[in-house]
């Protein structure tokens, strides 16, 4: 049996201890300075040259013999002094070289590490696992990863929310990182980890630094990066998800039709609750089949069918993904309009009256009034819509919608028609056969759309000013061929519907689907104001004036969408119906603990290993050695009277 040497065990234990090894470690930050040690060669050469005796021819050595005396020659003290001077100069060179090489001890001698965290904020991160969502768990994992780093390590935070955004630039300030994480929010956008990873790598290449990439996602996101070997991945959440969704809601004659689907997991016992402005109007069991869509017709009270408000269909209790548990639409009042028809002498064209009687669901014929243009303001204020023939009533309230067939002294005979616009008032209306005996050219304001144009100017316009809609036709029906065409009652019907709704938008619109606005906006309008909840966004229509897409709502956020013109006029309100994209909650993947991902990071630095820079001390030692060496070289030998000539002696 071989005995163990004393003292070696403690050295091996020291090597195994990261803290003690970190405390005793010595590193040179600029090792290339070692080339300065070649300066020792000239010093040695000068020293050897100094040791050689010089032969000086003189006329007589009598005086030199007296000058040198008995101490002539190289004494032991002189040899010791020269050897000491050489040693001090070499020591000064060594200390200077070591100082320029920047030696350091302690844990901070290693270069500061860089960590890049990519936090998934896509739709699947809204899934709830227990008491927290996956995004909240991912945010907590990011905090743990940052807490593992040393004080001088820098962190970069990326948020992958359908795009890729830097929410915290490279910094060692932990307060900045904490505030960025606190302000991060998940979205309902699709997953974009590949794009975020590519941009993060490009940013690192521009910085020319090496960093550890940590991606925090769910099992599905981790599975999408299975081919990536050079990154650390933490997958939070459980792969088993149960989710049923309300895909959409549509109107029926007696209520609403709710479209349902079981998107993930086995169906559970769910209840469909239908509310209008928060009041429950229907509640019934939801019929769900795994992997299939179904529709459920819900009867609602008659008072609700004709009412106005916001209808919502919601599955209760909530499941693992709550954002698609509800959808809704806007109920718009369908009550017949009370109209006042004004004409000179209260003599209204008979074909206009017949057109109004033919639409009992739109116009309340029993409540309709005939009046002259000088009718009192109280009579006109009682109407939902004022229909004027000839000219507008003098006492017309500013907040009344108007359908006007105008005439006046400025009317031109038989104007040449050359254009018909696009607008809900003209839906299905064929004005190609229209002929006019006389018409009054109109001036369109900024918020009005030209319906019929001519060589003399606009002859029909429609628009909204200060929240009030008006349709103005620059001709009376009797002065045209319009009453002889099927287009006339349809034109009046479309105009009254548009005036009654006070809303251009449909009852509901699918998120990211185009919002039909063609023909509604004036030509000079190039942008819209889109308000979803508390957020207002200016949307450019572009040169082709394409219909803008409906926005994607925020998780748990408002679904009520308002559109308006930059000048303040409203285009209406609708509800954004959002549905979960297929495959967004895929369960192809397994959870990956954070600790396994953090194992890919460099080991943490020991907190009790101080950082020391030795360069100042070595520089001071070099200066001291240099001064002592210079002093020894300049010191005279004891007993010598000088090194001059005999005459000087």
Is residue 600 within 8 Å of residue 115, measured between CB atoms? no
- CB-based burial, 592-626: b 16+ in 10 Å, e otherwise: bebeebbeebeeebbeebeeebbbeebeebbeebb
Cβ–Cβ < 8 Å for 608, 107: no
Radius of gyration of the chain (CA): 45
The pLDDT, as a whole number, for residue 82 is: 78
- CB count within 10 Å of CB 306 equals 12
Distance CA 424, CA 83 (A): 108
- How high is the mean pLDDT in each 10-residue block of the chain (649 residues)? 35 33 61 81 78 72 64 63 80 82 64 86 89 92 89 91 92 93 92 92 88 90 84 84 90 85 87 92 89 86 71 93 92 80 86 86 82 88 90 89 91 86 84 89 87 91 85 90 87 86 77 78 79 89 81 89 81 88 70 71 53 74 81 61 43
Instruction: Specify the CATH number for 339-501; select among 3.40.50.10070, 2.60.40.10, 3.30.1180.10, 3.40.50.880.
Output: 3.40.50.880
Longest dimension (CA), the chain: 157
* Fold match flag (243-331 vs 339-501): no
What 3-state DSSP class applies to 600? Answer: coil
How far apart, in whole angstroms, are the C-alpha atoms of residue 152 and residue 111? 9
- Cβ–Cβ < 8 Å for 473, 404: yes
The full set of domain ranges for the chain reads 24-108+614-644, 113-239+586-598, 243-331, 339-501, 508-577
How much is the pTM?
0.59
**Contact status, residue 348 vs residue 356, Cβ threshold 8 Å:** no
Cβ atoms 243, 321 nearer than 8 A: yes
CA distance 450 to 30: 78
Q: 562 by DSSP, 3-state: which?
A: strand
- Long-range interactions of 285-290: CB distance < 8 A, separation 24+: 286/244, 286/260, 286/315, 287/260, 288/244, 288/260, 288/261, 288/262, 289/262, 290/262, 290/265, 290/266
Structure tokens belonging to residue 445: 């304001």
- pLDDT for 527 equals 86
649 vs 645: CA distance, rounded Å: 7
Model confidence pLDDT, tens digit, residues 455-505: 889 999 998 887 788 999 999 888 888 888 888 888 998 888 888 765 667
- Would residue 250 be called left, alpha or beta, if left means φ above 0 and alpha means ψ between -120 and 50 degrees? beta
**Angle at CA of residue 145, ends 140 and 151, nearest 5°:** 125
Q: Is 631 helix (H, G, I), strand (E, B) or coil?
A: helix
Asked whether the beta carbons of 469 and 386 are under 8 A apart, the reply is no
One DSSP character per residue, 191-207 reads P-HHHHHHHHHHHHHHH
For 442, 523, 610, 635, the CA distances from 526, given in Å and listed in that order, are 23, 8, 64, 93
- Residue 154 C-alpha from the chain's centroid: 22
Cα(217)–Cα(267) distance, integer angstroms: 26
Candidates 450, 425, 451, 454; CA nearest to 439 is 454
Q: Are 597 and 214 in contact (CB under 8 A)?
A: yes
Alpha-carbon span 510 to 577, nearest angstrom: 5
> What pLDDT, on the 0 to 100 scale, is given for residue 19?
38
Instruction: Specify the fold of 243-331.
Output: Immunoglobulin-like (2.60.40)
Predicted local distance difference test score (pLDDT) of residue 576: 93
For 113-239+586-598, give the CATH class.
alpha beta
Distance CA 601, CA 617 (A): 35
pLDDT at 6: 35
In the prediction, which pLDDT does 135 show?
94
Peptide bond into 262 cis (omega under 30): no
The answer to whether the CB of 331 falls within 8 A of the CB of 507 is yes
């Amino acid at each position: 049996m071989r005995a163990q040497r004393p003292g070696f065990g403690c050295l091996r234990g020291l090597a195994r201890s990261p803290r003690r090894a970190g405390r005793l470690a010595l590193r040179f930050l600029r090792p290339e300075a070692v080339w300065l040690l070649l300066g020792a060669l000239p010093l040695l050469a000068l020293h050897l040259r100094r040791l050689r005796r010089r032969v000086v021819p003189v006329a007589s050595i009598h005086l030199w013999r007296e000058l040198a005396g008995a101490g002539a020659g190289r004494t032991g003290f002189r040899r010791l002094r020269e050897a000491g001077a050489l040693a001090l100069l070499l020591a000064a060179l060594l200390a200077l070289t070591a100082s320029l090489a920047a030696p350091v001890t302690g844990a901070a001698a290693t270069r500061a590490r860089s960590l890049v965290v990519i936090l998934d904020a896509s739709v699947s991160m809204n899934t709830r696992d227990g008491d927290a969502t996956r995004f909240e768990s991912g945010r907590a994992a990011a905090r743990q990863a940052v807490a593992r780093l040393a004080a001088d390590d820098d962190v970069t935070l990326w948020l992958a929310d359908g795009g890729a955004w830097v929410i915290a630039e490279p910094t060692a300030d932990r307060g900045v990182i904490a505030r960025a994480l606190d302000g991060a929010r998940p979205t309902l956008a699709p997953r974009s980890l590949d794009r975020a990873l590519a941009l993060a790598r490009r940013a690192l290449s521009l910085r020319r630094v090496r960093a550890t990439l940590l991606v925090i996602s769910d099992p599905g996101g981790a599975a999408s990066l299975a081919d990536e070997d050079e990154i650390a991945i933490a997958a939070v959440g459980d792969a088993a998800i149960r989710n049923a969704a309300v895909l959409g809601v549509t109107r029926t004659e007696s209520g609403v039709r709710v479209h349902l689907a079981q998107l993930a997991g086995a169906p559970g016992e769910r209840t469909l609750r239908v509310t209008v402005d928060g009041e429950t109007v229907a509640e019934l069991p939801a019929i769900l089949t795994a992997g299939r869509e179904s529709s459920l017709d819900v009867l609602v009270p008659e008072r609700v069918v004709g009412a106005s408000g916001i209808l919502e269909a919601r599955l209760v209790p909530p499941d693992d993904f709550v954002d698609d548990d509800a959808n809704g639409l806007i109920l718009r009042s369908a009550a017949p309009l009370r109209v006042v028809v004004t004409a000179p002498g209260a003599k209204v064209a008979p074909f206009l009256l017949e057109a109004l009687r033919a639409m009992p669901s739109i116009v309340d014929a029993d409540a309709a009034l005939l009046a002259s243009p000088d009718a009192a303001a109280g009579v006109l204020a009682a109407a939902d819509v004022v229909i004027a023939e000839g000219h507008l009533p003098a006492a017309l309230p500013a907040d009344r919608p108007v359908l006007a067939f105008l005439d006046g002294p400025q009317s031109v005979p038989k104007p040449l028609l050359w254009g018909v616009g696009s607008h809900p008032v003209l839906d299905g209306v064929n004005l190609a056969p229209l002929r006019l005996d006389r018409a009054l050219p109109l001036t369109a304001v900024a918020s009005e759309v030209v319906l019929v144009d001519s060589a003399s100017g606009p002859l029909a316009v429609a628009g909204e000013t200060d929240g009030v809609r008006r349709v103005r036709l620059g001709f009376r029906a009797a002065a045209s061929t319009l009453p002889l065409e099927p287009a006339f009652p349809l034109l009046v019907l479309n105009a009254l519907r548009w005036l009654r709704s006070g809303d251009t938008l449909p009852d509901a619109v699918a998120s990211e689907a185009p919002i039909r606005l063609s023909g509604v906006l004036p030509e000079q309008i190039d942008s819209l104001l889109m308000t979803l909840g508390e957020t207002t966004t200016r949307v450019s229509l572009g040169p082709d004036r394409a219909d803008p897409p409906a926005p994607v709502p925020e998780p748990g956020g408002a679904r009520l969408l308002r559109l308006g013109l930059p000048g303040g006029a409203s285009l209406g309100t609708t509800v954004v119906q959002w549905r979960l994209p297929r495959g967004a909650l895929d369960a192809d993947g397994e959870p990956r603990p954070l600790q396994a991902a953090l194992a890919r990071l460099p080991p943490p630095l020991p907190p009790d290993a101080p950082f020391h820079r030795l360069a100042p001390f070595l520089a001071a030692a070099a200066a001291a050695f240099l001064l002592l060496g210079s002093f020894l070289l300049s010191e005279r030998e004891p007993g010598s009277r000088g090194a001059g000539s005999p005459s000087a002696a």
